[in-house]
Amino acid sequence: MSEAEKGRSLAPALYVVATPLGNPADLSPRARLVLALADLVLAEDTRRAGLLFRRLGVERRAGRGFVSFFEHNEAQKTGRVVKALERGLSVALISDAGTPLISDPGYRLVRACREKGLPVIPVPGPSAALAALSCCGLPPQPFTFLGFLPRSAADLKRLFLVHADTGASLVFFESKNRLAKTLALAGRVLGDRPVCLARELTKDHEEFILGRLPGAEALAKALRGEITVVVGPLESPAKSDEQELARLIREEAASGGRPKDLARRVAARARGWTAKAVYEKMRHASE
């Protein structure tokens, strides 16, 4: 810690601090300062946090270590942290990597702080979900982040069915051991879609692997490291142009029938045209 930092202090607040996914250079100067000066640092794994700080070159003030704060003790420790904030302490919340709360603990604490009127300050930075989405080449909006997926195949199938027809890209995390089975199930439920497997983001072996569902499970079998998956939405075929629509109308008209029946037959063959739109087109053409 520099001499200038030793004389500084942070305003009492909960600071939600993003840390690098892998590349130490991604730690922002502001995040470095907050982590150095905070009275308390909440970490999922205090041992890993200590290693992270040494790797990042972040020095804490003497006697100020880390407080264990993870999924199974968050409810128990939230009250204690809130009391520390009420006493005027500054608290930094970190996850093992990336942005806290995004599939990591902290939601209960942030909600409790908001309910008490205590300040919560974001110190933004790396996020695996956004890094994958921004560089995969699939539609970035709208998107739905699913986090870590359910382990039960039945629960996973229900989750995919809920999001199957939203028109959004789906972003989720999955372990390398479960990835192939998850992609196989996604292919059966979601149908033919583009997919990207973003591996080891910001690290030396970073890789973006593009494929399609179904079939992407074959890409997953030999992969190692941390993987973020982006599944694109169903791709709508290009709308039939006016010339093609006119041709289809002529062909169906040769078979006869009422105008509305004719419009329904044409709509069944034309891409992107409803029966109502075809009927209106036919009606205006005859005027």
Digit-coded pLDDT (tens) for 125-180: 999 999 999 999 999 999 999 999 999 999 999 999 999 988 999 999 999 999 99
Residues 69 and 77 sit within 8 Å (Cβ to Cβ): yes
* pLDDT for position 287: 62
Higher pLDDT, 262 or 272: 262
Higher pLDDT, 183 or 243: 183
Q: Quick one: which of 213, 230, 14 has its CA closest to 120? A: 14
> Distance (Å, rounded) from C-alpha 89 to C-alpha 10?
8
Alpha-carbon distance values, 95 to 70, 71, 101, 198 (Å): 9, 11, 8, 20
**Residues recorded for the chain:** 287
H helix or E strand, kind and range, residue 198: strand 193-199
Does residue 237 register a pLDDT over 70?
Answer: no
* pLDDT for position 13: 98
H helix or E strand, kind and range, residue 229: strand 227-231
Instruction: Report helix, strand or coil for 262.
Output: helix
Who's near 110: CB < 8 A, 6+ residues apart? Answer: 14, 16, 101, 120
* pLDDT for position 273: 83
Does residue 2 register a pLDDT over 60?
Answer: no
* pLDDT for position 268: 82
Cα–Cα–Cα angle for 151, 174, 48, rounded to 5 degrees: 105
pTM above threshold 0.85: no
**Mean pLDDT across the chain, nearest whole number?**
91
Instruction: Report helix, strand or coil for 63.
Output: coil
